Amino acid sequence: MKLKSILSLILVLFLGFSGFAQVTFDAKVSKERLGVNERLRIDFEMNKDGDNFNPPDFDGFRVVGGPNQAISNSYINGKRSYSKTYSYFLAPQAQGSFTIGQATIEIEGETYKSLPIKVTVTQAVEKPQDGNNADYVASENVHLVAEISKTNPYLNEAITVTYKMYVSRDVSITSQWRELDSPKYADFWSQNIDTRGNYKVYDGTYKGESYRYVILRTTVLYPQKTGELEIEPLTLDVPIDVPSNRRDFFGRRLTTRVNKTISAGKRTINVKPLPLEGRPDDFAGAVGDFDFEVKTSKETLDATESLELQVSVSGNGNLKLFDPPSVKLPSSLEVYEPERSENVRTTRSGMEGDITETYTVVPQFKGKYPIRPLTFSFFDPMTETYKTKTSNEIVINVEQGPVTPVASANDENTAKQPVTLSEDQFKYIKTSTSLSSVEQDSFFQSTLFWSLVGAPLLLIPILMFVGKKRKERLADVEGNRLRRANKLAKKYLSEAKRNLGDKVAFYDALERALHNYLKAKLDIVTSEFSKERIESLLAENNVDKATIDKFIGLLKSCEFARYTPASSETMKEDYNKAATVVSEIDKQFKR
């Protein structure tokens, strides 16, 4: 009996261990040695369904695909075979030896762990290959390219960066890709020309082979610095369908989806400075091909009537990055601050359109007032020469109105009249006198005397009180700085406030106010208005980062508002933000 009991116990234990051994959970890699520019596939496979799967941290690698889940059920000779697999695609981040840790899964109430796997990453291989054929095929058949129209432009000359995605005819992309990293164009004025999802497929070639491609984005850049400048890469995560050797029930070829990270790579351009030889004295940074015109709404009017004087620059070039020439008129003409209007659109070749500054002029006196010709100089990168254009002379004729004092005096001098003497001409002069004595009152101790003596004594305490209040006001540094800041904010933002409700005019005025404020505060020219330059200069003058971020955010709002709808409430909110930010900068600015 004892022998039978022992044999029964051994049989039960054997069956129990056999049942336990039936559950497997393994980790497998496509290769244990790979180059830093290759990809690694790792599969976590189990033979029973489980829950709460937790992958390892994948230290030293970046997950570029997955997790992809695959389930297989098959029956062979009446026996069921089941497997479930979680797959990841990994990109090495550095060379060295790495250990992929343990993954865990819960199966039938028990927790199972995979074994750690060691992987060696070597230097980049000349032609990367992957143990997973689908991932390798995807990497070889989809490419992102940044094409630059000109790699050695002049300062402020437009260049175009076109991002194209080339896809070979061996794979396909049926799902939308995702942008991982967007380029930040430091030291450039930039504007994107997006296709907004309406991608057109073109036929082309890539490295001599037939490809299809789409234009993802076109960006127009105006370099704001000379020397070597880097253009950061655009990086995308793209789902790629790769045909496999398997076919479905109807014989159609099945595809495997691979998520691939592709990048256009950094590009470097060499920006040339504008030549010094032949540079006109009035050159203000305009680069392109322009026309220049000065005109008035009327040339004949009466005094106190108004006319509009327009100074316009039109053509192709960096229209938003310079100011037209200023107008200087005779003192007898009252001139108001100009209103700037921009009709500029950005195309693949750069900015084109016109900018106009409109002056309101009110003559005060009768006469003829010549407006001398104005000159406008620009650099033409096509001919690599400076050009100067001159406006015509304009004469404003004021027909009715008061005559200037100078003109009156001149009229009296030039109009000579004969002198006629009359007998009664000097009759008003007395030839005899009758004098009488006048009794003099004593000044000493008179009311006037005591008034003159007491007045200074009364003024002393008043002057002391006024002086004390003045010292207190001067000592109130924070209060004075706040008052100056509020006054400055109102000065620069007054035009924007007048245009509340008109989106285009408001944001143009707001952007111009912010730029004019920086020009006055930082003593910089318009060509230096890059966001990175502004951040650097404000930080150097003790402005805190939060205030700088608010200011840069307002500049971006002004740029985006031209292409997006904006309500009256949004404009009021942006105006209040601008007033607050200008005040904060003025309070914090290093004296």
Walk me through the domains of the chain, giving residue ranges and CATH numbers: 20-128 (2.60.40.740), 137-271 (2.60.40), 288-398 (2.60.40.740), 477-588 (1.20.120)
- How far apart (Å, rounded) are the C-alpha atoms in residues 26 and 47? 9
DSSP strand pairing (307-317 vs 350-363): antiparallel
pLDDT value at residue 411: 44
CB 295 within 8 A of CB 307: no
Residues in the chain: 591
- Residue 326's SS3 state is coil
Q: Report how far apart, in Å, the C-alpha atoms of 136 and of each of 30, 129, 263 are.
A: 12, 6, 16
Structure tokens at 590: 């290093």
CB 342 within 8 A of CB 313: no
CB atoms within 10 A of CB 464: 10
**By percentage, how much of the chain surpasses pLDDT 70?**
79
Phi, psi of 292 (to 5 degrees): -135, 135
Structure tokens at 311: 């100074």
- How far apart (Å, rounded) are the C-alpha atoms in residues 175 and 352? 36
Virtual torsion, Cα 481, 486, 491, 495, nearest 10 deg: 150
pLDDT value at residue 413: 46
Residues in the chain predicted with pLDDT less than 50, given as ranges, are 1, 12-21, 131, 407-422, 425
DSSP strand pairing (227-231 vs 235-247): unpaired
pLDDT value at residue 131: 45
- Residue 581's SS3 state is helix
pLDDT value at residue 196: 62
DSSP E strand boundaries for 287-338: 288-296, 300-301, 307-317, 333-335
CB 212 within 8 A of CB 142: no
**119-133 pLDDT, tens digit each:** 999 887 766 555 455
**193-212 pLDDT, tens digit each:** 866 667 888 999 998 888 99
Burial status of residue 347 (CB atoms within 10 A of its CB: 0-12, 13-18, 19 or more):
middle
